[in-house]
Amino acid sequence: MKKIILIISLFIGIQANAQQGDWKTVGKFISRDSITKDSYTLIFVDLDSTFVKQGGAVKQRMEDAFFKVYPQEAKAFNKKTLRKVVFIIDPNYNGVAATADGTVRFNPKWMLKQPTDLDVVTHEVMHIVQDYGDNAGPGWLTEGIADYVRYVYGVDNVTAKWILPALKPTHHYDNAYRITARFLVWIEKDVKKGTVQKLDSQLRSHTYTDESWKKLTGKTVDELWAAYVANENKAA
Ligand SMILES: [Zn+2]
């Protein structure tokens, strides 16, 4: 069943490109290969002629990052995650990267300009592991967990100069991404280890509610944030 979903998602991806009037480029279909290691397969589809010529080393490092972090993320968060993942190097995608249904689209311009930003892979494939479906919980938490995972499991955040920014008075837990991630790191360290795993699991089973924080840690998310801010200010 998962195989079918994967093939469909690849097809939809190509369809989406066709709708953007880029069928010719897709038709040239520059390269596609499939790598299997242990029980995981990565299908790497390149729709960008520039990336094919210049991105060989980046491609290799993206593949290495995938085979290093995806099994770790699966083991820590969701052992039933998809065994096959598709990466598409898509010149029509203007963000950095995005993920849906086992497929990650990468912007070739970004990957060639920032070839050390390999933990984009770590963040994006965590979205496959998360597999929360619709209306599972707040989007800020989904993105916060993905950046928490990038921070903990990242292959080379240092070279990419990717850090969790210091707390500022304007920050709030629902700012998502790195601001939420830093708050989650503090909860794991100073409040209750394993909270992120439990939140992730509840989001996937659609049992997450606003009460989850209190049940898991004894404090509401607002109380946790107040404690985090107080602790940071004391340390500063
Ligand atoms: Zn994300």
CA of 90 from ligand 1 middle (Å) equals 17
* pLDDT for the residue 61: 97
Which phi and psi angles does 156 have, rounded to 5°?
Answer: -160, 65
The predicted model scores a pTM of: 0.87
Cα of 126 from ligand 1 centre, angstroms: 8
Question: Band of the pLDDT at 21, cuts 50, 70, 90?
Answer: very low
Ligand 1 centroid–CA 123 distance in Å is: 6
pLDDT, position 131: 97
Average of per-residue pLDDT across 3-26: 40
φ and ψ of 27, to 5 deg: -60, -40
Q: At what angle do helices 177-186 and 139-153 cross, to 10 degrees?
A: 70
pLDDT for the residue numbered 29: 65
Q: What is the pLDDT of residue 103?
A: 95
Instruction: Give the residue with greater pLDDT, 214 vs 233.
Output: 214
CA 1 remoteness from chain centre? 23
- Enumerate the domain spans of the chain: 2-130, 139-235
Distance 151 CA to ligand 1 centre (A): 13
1-15, 115-129, 165-179, 207-221: segment of lowest average pLDDT: 1-15
Ligand 1 centre to CA of 80 (Å) is 20
The phi, psi pair for 190, rounded to 5°, reads -110, -15
Euclidean distance between CA atoms 182 and 167, whole angstroms: 8
pLDDT at 30: 76
pLDDT tens for 176-210 read 999 999 999 999 999 999 999 999 999 999 999 99
Interval 114-136: pLDDT, tens: 999 999 999 999 999 999 999 99
Taking residues 149-156, report their average pLDDT. 98
Q: Report how far ligand 1's centroid is from the alpha carbon of 234 (Å).
A: 31
One-letter amino acid for residue 189 of the chain: K
Residue 20's pLDDT band (cuts 50, 70, 90):
very low
Cβ proximity of 151 and 185 under 8 Å:
yes
Instruction: Confirm or reject CATH 3.20.190.10 for domain 2-130, answering yes or no.
Output: no
Distance 236 CA to ligand 1 centre (A): 30
Distance 33 CA to ligand 1 centre (A): 25
Distance between Cα 137 and ligand 1 center (Å): 14
Q: Greater confidence, 144 or 11?
A: 144
| pLDDT for res 43 | 95
pLDDT tens sequence across 79-99? 999 999 999 999 999 999 999
Residue 31 has a pLDDT of 84
Residue 73 three-state SS: helix
